Structure 1
């Protein structure tokens, strides 16, 4: 599988959000999108990352961005996670890992010498034309908004 990079066309996707509504990349045509992939609802790093993006959600909107999170968790898990932390943006339940694989965010990981398949925490900044502007593979979960702002000079 080839690795996506800045300048590549973002792979089209269709997924189901926390409210069982369909979300597609084409829904964001003409808008900028922060598409972030995270391993699991209610875990420390994923909660920190999601809350950091949520705490700055109004700034994202002011700068013309929408935010969408994707993980392999279920719709029910996303509903609870979103309610618990007051998240204002959509979370896609990619239980079949199709979107994760299309974006290269599913792959081999290693912990304590053990190899396993899992979510590779990655964020994609996608422009109004569906082109990837930036890819973050080393996500600062507690300061992700500033990390993105600095990189994009906004």
Structure 2
């Protein structure tokens, strides 16, 4: 997505579709009328991603009380997501963004350095979409510890 079309705070989210961990097609537009947290993370079953998913899981009922759905997104396959969801007992859906459509729309793939080697990877980021489908808030370069609670607090104040 070009800089001209990049999703920014106050703009409508494009009509995105993706395969979920259960193999079904999710259409983002069908979630209109409620708040949506979309969080992007590098890879299933890694320590940071497992911690982050667990924090959102533990607060999920509180998000739902605020009419908010949570979606986890990574470039992993639906099968990988299904294993991760089952093992961690995660109540929300996961988008298998294997073609990077969602990642590119939200501009979360950037150059990263790991052990001195450069590669393109998903930068841990979270987006809060309002019930009208507009980007309300974004968090980029997220540090995992306490992040889900901070998103919930922000939602409660919105």
**Using the alignment, how far apart are the partners of 1:11 and 1:48 within structure 2?**
29
Superposition pairs for residues 19-38 of structure 1, below 5 Å? Answer: 19-38=22-41
Unpaired stretches in structure 2, ≥5 consecutive residues: none
Task: Tell me the equivalent position of 1:48.
Answer: 51
| Secondary structure in 2 matching 1:92 | strand
| Moved segments of 4+, more than 2 Å | 1-5, 110-114, 149-154
Task: Tell me the equivalent position of 2:20.
Answer: 17
How far has the Cα of 1:153 moved from its partner?
Answer: 4.9
Unpaired stretches in structure 1, ≥5 consecutive residues: none
For these two proteins, the number of residue pairs brought into alignment is: 154
8 Å CA contact 1:11–1:103 kept in 2: the answer is no
Greater displacement, 105-114 / 90-99: 105-114
Superposition pairs for residues 1-154 of structure 1, below 5 Å? Answer: 1-2=2-3, 3-154=6-157
Q: Name the TM-score, length of structure 1 as normaliser.
A: 0.93
How far has the Cα of 1:27 moved from its partner?
Answer: 1.6
